[in-house]
Amino acid sequence: MMTSTRRVVLSLYRRVFRIARTWQAQSRLTSDTETERKYIIQEARTLFRQNQQLADQESVKRCIDECEARIEIGLHYKNPYPRATHLPPLGLATQKGRKLRAQQRLRKQAKPIYLQSQDET
C-alpha cells in the first residue's frame, strides 16, 4: 500500500474511533449510547481487519469511499447502523431473454456504496 493511501486509511480509522468515543444515541439513553458505541467500534475493527490485506488500489479506494459514506450517513441521520435497502428478488427489469445471472448482476450494481461490505460480514 502506498504511504498516502496508508495515511488516509489510518486517519479514517482514528476518525471512526473518535466518533465512537463522543457518540450520543438519539434517544439519549445511556444503554442505547453504549450499545451504539460498541457497535461502531466492533464494526470498524471487523471491516478494517478484514480488508487490511488488500493490495489492489481500486479495492482500497472502494473501501475508503464506503467508509467515508457510512461516516457521513451515520453522522447526518444520527444512526450508526447501515441504512437498509430493499430490492425484491427478481424485481429489477431485464431485457428479453436474460435470466437469473442478469438479475444478480443488476442487483449488485444497484447496491449503494455504503452497503458493499455487508455481504462479506
Higher pLDDT, 90 or 32: 32
Residue type, position 32, single letter: D
Q: pLDDT-based confidence at 121, cuts 50/70/90?
A: very low
The mean pLDDT of 74-88, rounded to a whole number, is 80
pLDDT tens digits along 11-61? 999 999 999 999 999 999 999 999 999 999 999 999 999 999 998 999 999
Q: Lowest mean pLDDT of 22-36, 82-96, 105-119, name the range.
A: 82-96
Other beta carbons within 10 angstroms of residue 103's beta carbon come to 17
Report d(CA 7, CA 52) in Å as an integer: 13
Q: What pLDDT is stored for residue 82 in this prediction?
A: 80
Report d(CA 117, CA 70) in Å as an integer: 11
Burial class (CB in 10 A: 0-12, 13-18, 19+), 40: buried
Where do the structural domains in the chain lie, given as residue ranges? 1-83, 84-114
The cell 474511533 sits on which residue?
17
